[in-house]
Structure 1
Amino acid sequence: MPQNVPSFAELLKGAQQSAVHLEMRDVYDVENEREPFARWGAGFRLNEGDRSSWWRPWLDLVAETVGRGVVMRRARIVSEPVTDYIKYEHSGTFTNVAAGELVRWLPRASASDIAVPGNDFWLIDQRAVRFNVFTGRGDVAAPQYTEDPRVAKLCSDAFEAVWERAIPHEEYKV
């Protein structure tokens, strides 16, 4: 796969119809989430009425992308009982939904017969794939990017199979 990996902002700003994201890890340990995750563990919760305190600039990018007519969907495959990290993600997902993203959750036990790629990914307009590769601990490793039609189809088929079975965010309880 090419080493020139577009940023999330570049990918989303270039999206014309769709942007889908499949997440499959139960724990992420990315640097920019460590402090918010620790605060959440100490009892802090986002205030639904205080949009200025939400995850910026990401949610602005989501709102702008959706505002251009791009459908953004995110699906998460999770083990149950869920980890504290998934509880943290779930508690803040209302911000993604408020920005215009559609989000669903699929218990891992319901995904056993779905063929999925080895890494989380973003699929843009059914043609461009950015794989998010993580270390064993959950920190960001080197992302990968491809526009290979076979890989895009694999990711599209996997995402759609997960999406079809997954539970809408508003209905999924952790």
Structure 2
Amino acid sequence: MVLSISEARFGELLQTFEREALHLETRDAYGTETELPYMAKWSRGEPDDLDWLQDWCENVRAHVDAGASVRRARIVSEPLSDYQRWSYSIAQPMVDAGEDIRWISRRLVSTIGIPGNDFYVLDGRLVVFLIYAGNGLNADYQTSTDPAHIQLCEEAFESVWTLAVPHREYQPV
């Protein structure tokens, strides 16, 4: 059974996992209300001190310090979209905090079965599907504890992960 949750509840889940958070991103562009102003600054060539990322970095650091792992795989079209070029440009503080971010060209995942939406798998017990509108804005968060849903997402993530390139080695095209 898939249930919708609030953005606040989603935020709580990202604070309270214990062992592992897996995050698969599949879109070339997002339009999150938090990110849009900062991406606009980047596109104008204006500096960004990335203070707005510090809460996430602190969350990652706390989890990693407690022995958990935080892994993110980004499936991207190449050449990269403006959004993904910006995303690449701001990823280093997250990597420095302990998030293992990897990149993979969309052309390399054609034979991997991937769920229809981005997702997080938390501690192998819960999957949170991130539902986006066509303009990239978040439309819903849907959760499932169904073992088949979790297995589907874990297998997709691990299949992508084994082919993906670590952030420090990825060369944007």
Identify the TM-score tier after normalising by the shorter chain: over 0.9
Q: How does 1:1-174 map to 2 (within 5 A)?
A: 1-4=2-5, 7-46=9-48, 53=51, 55-174=53-172
Q: What CA distance in whole angstroms lies between the structure 2 residues aligned with 1:32 and 1:20?
A: 21
Letter in 2 for 1:154: L
Structure 2: which 5+ residue stretches go unaligned? none
Residues paired across the two proteins, number: 170
Identity %: 41
In the aligned structure 2, how far is the partner of 1:45 from the partner of 1:147? 42
Measure the CA separation in 1 of the matches of 2:47 and 2:60: 21
Q: Is the 8 A contact 1:62 1:99 kept in 2?
A: yes
Cα drift, residue 62 of structure 1:
1.4
Aligned mates of 1:12, 1:34 — CA distance in 2: 21
1:24-66 deviation per Cα after TM superposition (whole angstroms, max 9, x unaligned): 000101111111000010113456xxx7x35132221111121
Cα RMSD of the aligned pairs, angstroms, is: 1.6
Task: Please list every run of at least 4 consecutive aligned residues from structure 1 whose deviation after the TM superposition is greater than 4 angstroms.
Answer: none
TM-score (structure 1 length as normaliser): 0.92
Q: Where is the strand percentage greater, Structure 1 or Structure 2?
A: 2
Q: Spell out, residue by residue over 1:71-110, the C-alpha distance to the aligned partner (whole angstroms, 9 max, x if none).
A: 0000000001110100000000001101110010010000
Q: TM-score, normalised by structure 2?
A: 0.92
Opposite residue 18 of structure 1, the aligned amino acid is E
- State how far apart, in whole Å, the 2-side matches of 1:9 and 1:137 are: 22
Contact 2:4-2:140 within 8 A present in 1 as well: no
For 2:46 and 2:24, locate their aligned partners in 1 and report how far apart those are by CA, in whole Å: 27
